Amino acid sequence: MQSLLNGVASGCIYGLIALGFVLIYKATEMVNFAQGDLMMLGAFVAFAAIDALGLNYWLAFLVAVLFMAVFGYLLDAAILRQVIGQPQFAIVMLTIGLGFTFRSAASMLWGTETRAFDTPFTSGVSEVGGLVVNHVSLSIIAGTAILCAALFAFFRYTRVGVAMQAASQNQLAAYYMGIPVKRIFSLIWAISAAVAAVAGVLLAPVALIDVTMGLLGLKAFAAAVLGGFGSIPGAVIGGIVIGVIEQFSGRYMESDLKDVAAYVVILAVLFLRPQGLFGNIGRKRV
Amino acid sequence: MRFFFKTDYNQDINLFRDKVDRFWYALLMLTLLAAPLALEEFYLGEISYVFVLSIIGIGLMLLTGFTGQVSLGHAAFLGIGAYTHAVLLSHGAPFVLSMTAATLLSAAVGVAIGFPALRLTGIYLAIATLAFAFIIEHVLIKWESVTGGFKGFPVERPEYFGISITDDIPFYYLSLFCLVLAVLAALNLLRSPTGRAFIAIRDSEIAAQSMGVNLARYKTAAFAVSAGFTGFGGALFAHKIGYLAPDAFNILLSIQLLLMVVVGGLGSIHGAIFGAMFVGALPQAIAIGRDYLPETIARQPGLEPGLFGLILVFFILFEPYGIYGRWLKVKLYFSLFPLYKKATFKKQKTYTKSERNR
């Protein structure tokens, strides 16, 4: 049970990053390999807000999310918009390159040593029915749930959210309907970067902040693929599945199998069901 | 400007386009053969490193540039080649035999990953190869009796006829020979029906299928050939780094290999070699450039990967055809001199083609 809880908590982080991947992929068909690095940047911005500006945790959280949202918007508007329509490979390489650049910029700004900041949850522990639950895990799970609910409501009930759905289903038709597709895409990037920032700040008390944090993005990528790229609930569930598998394989098998177990599962799933657990791929019409 | 008239069908598949080309390549070959007479050992070492990278680059180019399959796990094939070669050498196998074994084993693993990868496309393929690379890295760490685990082991330095092949000059000639072999093999493959099938698959899978190209067979073949080349290069790479440890073959290396083919120019053997020159020379250039930079920037540890990233971004935004594409443009500029029009290479306006329905 304890492992299950820990697994769900770390899985939620994967799920959150995967959510960022999926949002962007669904809307723009771009695969953003820099998502993990966006998360790293978000965590560092929160750290800087607490450390240099002296803000409290909640304000810093807000600052990080807003900053990353603006950053994501500008990133798309300045760079990624130019490669729309190029083969997917170019976009993959472009985002990988951007990820490297962010990592190096962060190491120049904040150095390569690990950082940490205090959160209201850091050392809190409570006992529920014989289970030791630390507040950090709770905060991660709650944060993910709230964020998912908010995103769901946003896509379902707001004008912009519906416009985003339209743009993701058919760019050209959406364009003819008067939806500013380019701006919508930039907004999607903003949301996705903000989600990454949330993941980064929630993760900060568990894993210390350092520049290699972004490599977690690769595992989240696996989570997104597991859930079927392009399915939002799939991304979160995929993330949780991977988190749980990791915890259990660390517990019942050799502990260093933990890092590979996720990938073995991914390969197995991809070979048996290439479209992921929740994805659907139609056949191409010629 | 030189005009090129085709008077024979064979001209389409000749290795050299005409006498002029043959002359220049022969001159290049002679220069490379004579280089050890003029250059210091340090530069020879660097050049042979570029040769080794070129072989690996050709391997990846065949898969990514010619067959259009993305692989984020090529470091794994490289690792398999390097480890097979080094382990066999340490058990006393002859050099040629262990090189062959490294190539064949990598190719076999390539088939193993290629088979299931047939059903995958785009990002799913990328993640499958990525997962595969992580698993291989883990195997290299855990299989301690053979690979020496985390610590790794030094690569043998075999001697034949009193010459240690890992010395600078013999290794230079060895890697030059291997590169020429690899280039010829790749060119001959590409002008055969198999190679044309690869290119057809890259351009349109559906069109290729309707022309009678067996997708499953040729994609597996592409993976096998690419992995084989990479393993072959990996065997030489083992000598170049001298000490094998699993963390040398991680995801960053895979990405560096991809960077090589993208920066060089996708879809040409020239591109693989230009890319290798670039990746081989960049660390040196950065090391030299450090002396001229202000202290605070030059001391940063993240400088090199950051520059790699920036260069990658700039190439994709401004020169998607890579160094080779730029070379073609410069060549055309001079051969058309006063009449060169920028619009010759203008990119067509493109729209996102959905990959969702395939």
CATH number of the domain to which B56 belongs = 1.10.3470
A97 to B126: CB separation less than 8 angstroms, yes or no:
no
pLDDT confidence of residue B358: 40
Q: What is the DSSP string of chain A?
A: -HHHHHHHHHHHHHHHHHHHHHHHHHHH----TTHHHHHHHHHHHHHHHHHTS---HHHHHHHHHHHHHHHHHHHHHHTGGGGTTS-HHHHHHHHHHHHHHHHHHHHHHH-SS-B----TTTT-EEEETTEEEEHHHHHHHHHHHHHHHHHHHHHHHSHHHHHHHHHHH-HHHHHHTT--HHHHHHHHHHHHHHHHHHHHHHHTTTSPB-GGGGGHHHHHHHHHHHT-TT-HHHHHHHHHHHHHHHHHHHHHS-GGGHHHHHHHHHHHHHHH-TTTTT---BPPP-
pLDDT confidence of residue B52: 92
Residue A166 placed within a domain: yes
Kindly report the nearest CA distance between residue A2 and chain B, in angstroms.
Answer: 27
What is the share, in percent, of chain B residues with pLDDT greater than 90? 14
Assembly ipTM = 0.79
A31 to B310: CB separation less than 8 angstroms, yes or no:
no
* Count: domains in chain A: 1
Mean pLDDT of all residues in A121-143: 71
A211 touching B, CB under 8 A? yes
| Res. A212 pLDDT band, cuts 50 70 90 | confident
Residue B295 placed within a domain: no
Residue B64 placed within a domain: yes
A169 touching B, CB under 8 A? no
Query: Distance (Å, rounded) from C-alpha B337 to C-alpha B277?
Result: 28
Residue B291 placed within a domain: no
pLDDT confidence of residue A274: 65
The token duo for B218 is 């040729």
Which residues of A fall within a CB distance of 8 Å from B149? none
Residue B13 placed within a domain: no
pLDDT confidence of residue B254: 86
Residue A165 placed within a domain: yes
**Interface size, chain A vs chain B, as Cβ–Cβ contacts under 8 Å:** 164
pLDDT confidence of residue B233: 92
Please, which residues have CB within 8 angstroms of residue B201's CB and are 6 or more apart in sequence? B67, B68, B208, B213, B215, B218, B219, B222
B127 to A101: CB separation less than 8 angstroms, yes or no:
no
What is the share, in percent, of chain A residues with pLDDT greater than 90? 0
Which residues of B fall within a CB distance of 8 Å from A211? 302
Residue A235 placed within a domain: yes
Kindly report the nearest CA distance between residue B68 and chain A, in angstroms.
Answer: 9
pLDDT confidence of residue B230: 93
Residue A117 placed within a domain: no
A264 to B358: CB separation less than 8 angstroms, yes or no:
no
Residue B305 has pLDDT above 80, yes or no: no
pLDDT confidence of residue B58: 93
Query: Distance (Å, rounded) from C-alpha A198 to C-alpha A79?
Result: 23
Residue predicted with more confidence, A234 or A119: A234
| Res. B2 pLDDT band, cuts 50 70 90 | low
A90 touching B, CB under 8 A? yes
Mean pLDDT of all residues in A215-225: 78
Q: Supply the angle between the helices B95-117 and A258-272 in degrees, to the nearest 10.
A: 60
Residue range of the domain that includes A199: 2-110+125-272
Residue range of the domain that includes B226: 39-281
| Res. A128 pLDDT band, cuts 50 70 90 | low
Query: Distance (Å, rounded) from C-alpha A263 to C-alpha B121?
Result: 18
Which residues of A fall within a CB distance of 8 Å from B307? 104
Averaged confidence pLDDT in chain B: 83
Which of A182, A260, A278 is most worth mutating to test chain B (most B CB atoms within 10 A of its CB)? Answer: A260
Which range of A47-51, A119-123, A191-195, B298-302 scores highest in mean pLDDT? It is: A191-195
A5 touching B, CB under 8 A? no
Mean pLDDT of all residues in B301-324: 80
- DSSP SS3 for B34: helix
Residue A119 placed within a domain: no
Q: List the CATH number of the domain containing A221.
A: 1.10.3470
Residue A232 placed within a domain: yes
| Res. B232 pLDDT band, cuts 50 70 90 | very high
Per-residue model confidence as pLDDT tens digits over A137-196:
777 888 888 888 888 888 888 888 888 878 777 777 888 888 888 888 888 889 889 988
Residue predicted with more confidence, B141 or B1: B141
* Count: domains in chain B: 1
Residue B112 placed within a domain: yes
A101 touching B, CB under 8 A? yes
Kindly report the nearest CA distance between residue A138 and chain B, in angstroms.
Answer: 30
Closest residue on chain B to A94 (Cα): B313
B128 to A270: CB separation less than 8 angstroms, yes or no:
yes
Residue A53 placed within a domain: yes
A96 to B312: CB separation less than 8 angstroms, yes or no:
yes
